Structure 1
């Protein structure tokens, strides 16, 4: 399996952040099945993807490739810029048609890594980016108040007419996949609202990465575009002392690295070491 195939498998196997709408306001898009693009499709797509090292852009390309490979979907439009004469009003990620229901879907795509900070008062506000630069609440509010409303403005309706898409026929959904990391001492707890299958690992602080606890294991700090992959695909494993030096340098720059760990028993684990 190539590195690209491993990344696509990782994307497809990442669970949806929620599986019902009892708490979340948005319908979650779930693939009717999970077809993997064949090698010829990957070969055609490879030059495009390799020019997109940024994880978010790469995820968009994976989603496009999967939709175009899937017999139950047709890609009608993507990355639609909505402009007025004065400024950009917004963007629609994807518009797809689903068969055999013949549904037209405006879909916003999100792929996130969050850690759970129990010191924050509000439950849903506790899911934050590992570098504390974004939060789940901020992302949901952006979808509700900025991204979804763009569909309803006159400029969008006019543009959709040129694509022969009727605004009244469009449903709105999100494809929100997430990898969640919780404090190491809460691994057996249940967390409300979110899909428990999204729990991908744990997080610790730098001073908790001790020789006595982690010294006998091996580690990798994967490139961000590989974060979605399973750690079993890691190749260049290093010892504790080497990893400690790498983490120290990253933490000094306020960076919280994702770590892959291979234990002596052959098991694999993922965790963040946060700088804060």
Structure 2
């Protein structure tokens, strides 16, 4: 046999081996291997392992391969969490931020509580001060009102006392008596004291009838002359007595002295009056 023929038989043997019918398990593994996804490749590997270990049935190998991706994914996730520094850094930063936020919130809450307490204390102090000021003002107003009332009462009492004193003085003072007849009788009774006879009484009567009608309180509204004798100014009669305003006798004494000193007699005084309308 030639070398060529021997080689042909060798290749044929290999083709026969490759073309030999596949078992059911081999077909499943082959179909799985043709799929391009990772899960199927892992299933094929699992199948190979199952075949090598002499798994009794294809169903048990398939179940193992179906659970393998989920177990692998969970293991990868756990491994990434355990070894990923960025994740740990992010978690630590987030925890620190949360702690800082909580601290800041607590500080803000404490500051707000302190501000509220200070505001309440300030409002209370202001209210107490306002109440104290109001009470002091009311007390001062009451004291002033009491002082004013006391002053008014004192003034009223003083006025009442003055009025009472004046009334008492007026009651005690002699009252002016307008009694022409009594005044004439008194004048006639004292003419002789001045060296005049009864005939001068007629001239005196005419003179003072013209002046005052023998009234003690007769007053000249224009000149202010006063009394029976119409003294001007009226106060000159005080030389005859302090009661010159009310006592006709005091007025008559002063008038007779005036006539004697100025005219010498009532007749001469009357003559002057008739010529000048005054004496």
- The structure richer in strand per residue is 1
What TM-score results when the alignment is normalised by the length of structure 2? Answer: 0.15
Larger Rg: 2
- The structure richer in helix per residue is 2
